[in-house]
Structure 1
Amino acid sequence: MLSSSQLDILNNAKPGTLSANPARIEDIARQSQTSDLADDELLAFLQICNTLYRSGEPLISDKVYDSVFLAELEKRHPDHPYLHSVEAEKAFAGKTVALPQRMLSTEKAYTKESIEKWLSNIEKAAIELEIDPDALIFRATPKLDGFAAFDDGKLLYTRGDGRKGTDITRVFERGMIVGGSGKRGLGAGEIVVSQTYFNKHLADTFENARNFQASVIKEKELEPHALEAIQNHAAVFYPFCELPDWQGPSTELIADFEAIIANVHILVDYDVDGVIFEVTDNRIKQHLGATRHHHRWQIAYKSNAESAQVKVLKVTPQTSRSGRVNPVAELEPTRLSGAMISRATAHHYGMVKEQGIGEGTLIELTRSGMVIPKIERVITPQTPQIPEHCPSCGSSLVWDSDYLYCLNTSQCPAQIENTIEHFFRTLANNDGFGGKTIEKLHANGINSVYSVYQLTLEQLLEIGFRSQDGKNQLAKNLLEQLERSRTEAIEDWRFLGAFGIWRMGLGNCERLLQHHKLLDIFNLTEGDIILIEGFADKTATAVVKCLALIKNDFLKIHQLGFNLIQTPLVTEQQQKTSPIAGLTLVFTGTMIHGKRDGMIKEAKRLGAKVSTSVTGNTAYLVTGTDVGATKINSANDKGIKVISEDEYLALISN
């Protein structure tokens, strides 16, 4: 069955009329047959599969997509435009610009025989050019499973449709580095996140790395986890030309094919879904050229995923460090890709509920190489058991979209370590209090942020924080970092965000403190919070409850004496005297006198509402340079006043 996340994606994207019939989509995916599909239905299904895959919510496996549905379209209509166009990446906020050079897709192969056929074509090209085929060198690199982009040294573009992409240079402005040598302007590559880092710090928040990578690109105000991943250099843009590789002649490639595939897969600590082979001789590349879809001198090999029908014995709830209760399917032991599998994640309880995953459910399980086993589809659903209480502390659970959460952040044993780690990570003004340090402290009875600040040198030495030479420098360093975290200036909204209040990212913390002083927020009612732009009823209810839960801990920690920078309050007088108070504005284009984000913040401070799309409620469309026609045409059609950046600055200066 389609999950609620997949349905939301299709409802927003609307890739054809078939998206209005979820039952039919599910039937086509379940049967994996094409004989009864009309041409328009086949094409619509391909577009839907591509949309879901690019959004991090794949409906079917790559192999089924390629070998069943795409192959059927090629069989019926070899020259169909869909076969020869680059499958578009998801769009992100930003201006659309022409790419410096075309970014094509890659031809795929699933068997060694297909690679041998490709090598034969390379050999023929070499003979035509009077080049010795035995002298050719081939390169094999990991096929990164991230977001394709192009860096020309000035801008970073998404791949888009291969010809035009979106300007996402903002990721470098946020601190993202370039993998490999660190040099800009090396052309095509992918935005990826470290597997190790993702599994340790992000797996509780995101279903897969693609979803996280999308959040790094599209979010205007990054959540702490995304900002920290960038600052820790876990999320990077990696140019293809900088990837570690295997190189050798075709004879060695074929003779050691399996070993080369296995070794290349583990050359990087990023998600890899195959191996890219290419010939290195530029004369061959120029001679073979490209189709409208892919380069002929390059091919991607993707291992076949093994699958099996497996019965679910039970679904076990596990509380993560972030308070999310994740369902783990306990399975009848089954061997896949050389490993005995007895457990698989069901991602979230929304999936468990919608697809009927419970005791006795028959599922199709897939696994390829060293990849984590995945529930591909539910064959025979059963009645699921949805927990009402946290398995760690017994607190009542709440739904947030597809997820179940335990809100008892301060006393739930499973969340204590995350609470402490999140605090120091969000302050971002200290070093040394990472996961391993927190785990060691917690194992020795340190179970709150406040208790960390009460540690003495003697206690740290007793716990085992000594340098390799047996001296006490390590313990001293930790105490120095605790002192630094209190004395180094930080914004009060960041301090509030460090307490991990549900539904309160750093953006919401800043908005709240623009209207109320830090120590006054514990006296707020739901009605007070709802009056603030961006806070809905459910959010206000959750915030009031969570503030009550953390109040005692917050005040104890606050009294330790942190150097907090107070957020300027937006007073009623400021808004009354502002010429844009109460108006809805839309900013578009590249601004000359400042960054657009800064202008948006200033407009909000002056009491305006800022939207990303032009509607009948828009008062002004504020335009910079390089403005597309869409928003201007929309404003003209609706009678909305369009003003330049200079006109806007003159307006607010009055």
Structure 2
Amino acid sequence: MSKASDLKRITELRRELKRHDELYYRDAQPEIEDREYDRLKAELAELEAVHPELSLIDSPTVRVGDDRVEGFASYQHHLPMQSLDNTYSQDEFFAFVARVEKGLEVDGARFTVEPKIDGVAVSLTYENGAFVRAVTRGNGIEGDDVTENARLIKAIPKRLKGDSIPEIIEIRGEIYMRNEEFERVNALRSEAGLELFKNPRNLAAGTIKMLDRVEVGKRQLDIVLYGLGYCQPSVVSSQSEYHRRLGDWGLPVVEAFWEATGPEEAWQAIEKLDTLRNGFEYPTDGAVIKLDSFDQQDVLGATSKAPRWAIAFKFAAEQAETKLNAITIQVGRTGVLTPVAELEPVQLAGTTVSRATLHNREEMARKDVRAGDFVVIEKAGEIIPAVVRVLTEKRPADSEAFVFPETCPSCGTEVTQLEGEVAVRCVNIECPDQVRGRLEHFASRQCMDIEGLGVAVVEQLVSRGSVSNISDIYRLDYEQVVSLDKFAEKSARNLLAAIEASKRVELWRLLHGLGIPQVGAAAAKDLAKAFGGVRELGEASLEKLVELDGIGEKTASGIVAYFQDERNRAIIDALFEAGMNPKAPERPKEGEAVLAGKTFVITGTLPTMKRDEAKALIESKGGKVSGSVSKKTDFLVAGEAAGSKLTKAESLGVKVIDEATLLEMSQ
């Protein structure tokens, strides 16, 4: 491949990985499996290795994800919370062990093996035995302070018991939700006509980040602890000793734990865990293997992304064979037609599966999937299952290839395929399926957060003709709502109150909810800060949009096209006529915007300021804070242990300043 094509692919991969990071860590709505995500990361790493000069151009800002959301204060970890590298085969695992033993110059290194819990990573801080703080992983350096919500988790003791308790210790673990609690919450939501959560991890992530503690208290969260962060003074010398000490202190620990010497013993423990994990009370998708000795861990150290002394072995995705009875076409909120396999129900990963995604027309054609085929479906964790291959040897003799529709199955409009896209689309903005999708997106927790306006309610409103676009939500009256199935006076008034309250959400939520192409939550926040209003954004030129850090030409073109559409402008006008009054980000007062037009990146540990304090200072003075260094960065604010961002800034000629210089510039 040419350098130009490699650069194009690198750009595509970085954009795609960034989107998946946001979906997983911030929205708790992942679209792909870990293995596919790791494959994309590996492809990017290979291309960047071939073209190291390109690795400095718009490199991804997040490698371990960032789960921070609006509404929570950030708190810096005493020691970073890194992610683990993943491995998927015995050969890859043995290669990891070989690297460890080579680095230590030993044979038969000692390891621990424990379950990999599919939950929300968290760090608990105890001072003199008293629980004082709970912080999510965040970006690895700092996370969201969720202490008040964590205090509602019964398994977290207020004080550690026993002896040998450090003055201060960070205890890492995973917040999760048991399957039966997940099913209980979803049953209640189903009765109320609300959108259901996809899996226990998503529900746990959403619950611990709720701002309403009363609602958090209505759900039963659990926690399991296994990792050590900062500890002063040191009281243990190994992971196995630490595991036993956690139990002595009265903390909840993993149900299974092995000590092993060398690769063979460790592999036997991994296989044993695989046979036991379905009986655990928490979702487990792999094994975590750690070098036991803390001294040896220190010898090996870590990369910027992950420790060299630990790895996660991901269990193979569960598969099942079944018959594909029919192929149906779903139309999403953006008009994309997605083929879906209607299956003979089959048990997979503990649930009954009757549907699986076929992704798109090109993927269907590549696999030659047909109605009547016997297929193998795969489901790792709780993500929507997919057809991975067709058992052509079992195909009926009279089988016919599937013909992808040329018209929308929802509204009959002729479909189109844009150049450079694999997606086939319906361009009719009034298409009923698109209307339903847009309304569900608009009302979702990630956008306007209208409690009570879930999938079932939207379906009724659209089928009855009560709403045809998002502005119609604000014209609903009591009689229309109370007449809906499963609604009574109280639930009707609650929904109308939630709709009324949504008129005063933050501006970025409205921008995200509008469904502007390529504009997710992160881009919406950038646009809200840059323009301060919907109409101001609508008047922005392509050139002005492209100047913004994080807004590429494709996104900018989509924004311009969106606001040029008369139908979209009419809907926006109707929203404001109905009383929509979103809260714009606070802007610095006149004469205080001394950093206006400047983009900063903060890295390392500053002498007196926490990172969120430095960020708040810069934004209060009109500046912008980005998470990655690029050619558009004006200043890198570097503290102790600045790391790779400092190296990149120096290579790009970005000016590097310290905290004192930042404070002086802000005067």
1:476 to 493, 496, 518: 493
1:643 aligns to 2:657 (yes or no): yes
1:544 aligns to 2:555 (yes or no): no
For residues 277-334 of structure 1, give each alpha carbon's deviation from its aligned partner in whole angstroms, at most 9, with x where no partner exists. xxxxxxxxx9x999999xxxxxx997995555x7878754322456554332356898
What is the aligned partner in structure 1 of residue 573 from structure 2? 555
What is the aligned partner in structure 1 of residue 242 from structure 2? none
The structure whose Rg is larger is 1
Instruction: Tell me: CA distance 1:229–1:235, structure 2 relative to 1, closer, same or farther (3 Å).
Output: farther
1:445 aligns to 2:469 (yes or no): no
* Rounded Cα–Cα distance in structure 1 between residues aligned with 2:622 and 2:544: 17
CA contact (8 A) 1:390 1:397 kept: no
- The residue matched to 1:564 in structure 2 has which SS? coil
- The residue matched to 1:540 in structure 2 has which SS? helix
CA contact (8 A) 2:154 2:222 kept: no
CA contact (8 A) 2:136 2:144 kept: no
1:106 to 102, 113, 116: 113
For residues 428-460 of structure 1, give each alpha carbon's deviation from its aligned partner in whole angstroms, at most 9, with x where no partner exists. 575433344434434433224443333333333
What is the aligned partner in structure 2 of residue 32 from structure 1? none
What is the aligned partner in structure 1 of residue 140 from structure 2? 167
For residues 546-583 of structure 1, give each alpha carbon's deviation from its aligned partner in whole angstroms, at most 9, with x where no partner exists. 33242212211211123433446799x98xx9765665
* Rounded Cα–Cα distance in structure 1 between residues aligned with 2:545 and 2:440: 28
CA contact (8 A) 1:396 1:406 kept: yes
Q: Which runs of 5+ in 2 are unaligned?
A: 1-12, 14-34, 53-82, 105-109, 127-132, 158-168, 226-250, 257-271, 301-312, 394-399
- The residue matched to 1:534 in structure 2 has which SS? coil
1:151 aligns to 2:110 (yes or no): no
Offset of residue 151 of structure 1: 3.5
Instruction: Tell me: CA distance 1:527–1:554, structure 2 relative to 1, closer, same or farther (3 Å).
Output: same
Offset of residue 143 of structure 1: 6.1
- The residue matched to 1:419 in structure 2 has which SS? helix
1:238 aligns to 2:219 (yes or no): no
* Rounded Cα–Cα distance in structure 2 between residues aligned with 1:538 and 1:570: 30
Paired letter, 1:511: D
Instruction: Tell me: CA distance 1:322–1:454, structure 2 relative to 1, closer, same or farther (3 Å).
Output: same
* Rounded Cα–Cα distance in structure 1 between residues aligned with 2:531 and 2:511: 14
1:530 aligns to 2:550 (yes or no): no
What is the aligned partner in structure 1 of residue 370 from structure 2? 359
For residues 67-118 of structure 1, give each alpha carbon's deviation from its aligned partner in whole angstroms, at most 9, with x where no partner exists. xx358x48xx9x72458999xxxxxxxxxxxxxxxx97636xxxxxxxxxxx
For residues 37-96 of structure 1, give each alpha carbon's deviation from its aligned partner in whole angstroms, at most 9, with x where no partner exists. xxxxxxxxxxxxxxx9967xx9xxx5xx24xx358x48xx9x72458999xxxxxxxxxx
CA contact (8 A) 1:623 1:645 kept: yes
Instruction: Tell me: CA distance 1:552–1:13, structure 2 relative to 1, closer, same or farther (3 Å).
Output: same
* Rounded Cα–Cα distance in structure 1 between residues aligned with 2:210 and 2:414: 30
CA contact (8 A) 2:541 2:560 kept: yes
CA contact (8 A) 2:360 2:422 kept: yes
Paired letter, 1:477: N
- Which moved further from structure 2: 551-560 or 181-190? 181-190
For residues 500-536 of structure 1, give each alpha carbon's deviation from its aligned partner in whole angstroms, at most 9, with x where no partner exists. 2222234433433433643344444434433444322
1:652 aligns to 2:666 (yes or no): yes
What is the aligned partner in structure 1 of residue 517 from structure 2? 502
- The alignment-based identity, stated in percent, is 23
CA contact (8 A) 1:156 1:167 kept: no
Kindly report which structure 2 residues correspond to 1:64-75, keeping only aligned pairs within 5 A, or say none: 65-66=89-90, 69=91, 73=94
Paired letter, 2:558: A
CA contact (8 A) 1:4 1:402 kept: no
CA contact (8 A) 1:189 1:237 kept: no
- The residue matched to 2:453 in structure 1 has which SS? coil
CA contact (8 A) 2:475 2:578 kept: no
- The residue matched to 2:483 in structure 1 has which SS? helix
Paired letter, 1:10: A
Paired letter, 1:359: R
Kindly report which structure 2 residues correspond to 1:220-369, keeping only aligned pairs within 5 A, or say none: 238-240=223-225, 242=252, 264=279, 267=281, 271-273=283-285, 305=318, 307-308=320-321, 316-320=328-332, 324-329=336-341, 343-347=355-359, 351-352=363-364, 355-359=366-370, 364-366=376-378
Instruction: Tell me: CA distance 1:330–1:151, structure 2 relative to 1, closer, same or farther (3 Å).
Output: same
The structure showing larger relative contact order (alpha-carbon pairs under 8 Å, at least 6 residues apart) is 2
Paired letter, 1:412: C
Instruction: Tell me: CA distance 1:578–1:629, structure 2 relative to 1, closer, same or farther (3 Å).
Output: same
TM-score by length of 2: 0.55
What is the aligned partner in structure 2 of residue 189 from structure 1? 173
CA contact (8 A) 1:306 1:367 kept: yes
1:421 aligns to 2:448 (yes or no): no
Paired letter, 1:647: T
* Rounded Cα–Cα distance in structure 1 between residues aligned with 2:661 and 2:452: 49
1:455 aligns to 2:476 (yes or no): yes
Count of residue pairs the alignment pairs up: 500
Instruction: Tell me: CA distance 1:176–1:473, structure 2 relative to 1, closer, same or farther (3 Å).
Output: closer
Instruction: Tell me: CA distance 1:341–1:369, structure 2 relative to 1, closer, same or farther (3 Å).
Output: same
Paired letter, 1:559: E
Instruction: Tell me: CA distance 1:567–1:631, structure 2 relative to 1, closer, same or farther (3 Å).
Output: closer
Paired letter, 2:603: T
Paired letter, 1:239: V
Paired letter, 1:358: V
Kindly report which structure 2 residues correspond to 1:400-415, keeping only aligned pairs within 5 A, or say none: 404=423, 406=425, 411-415=430-434
- The residue matched to 1:106 in structure 2 has which SS? strand
Instruction: Tell me: CA distance 1:235–1:627, structure 2 relative to 1, closer, same or farther (3 Å).
Output: farther
* Rounded Cα–Cα distance in structure 1 between residues aligned with 2:644 and 2:432: 52
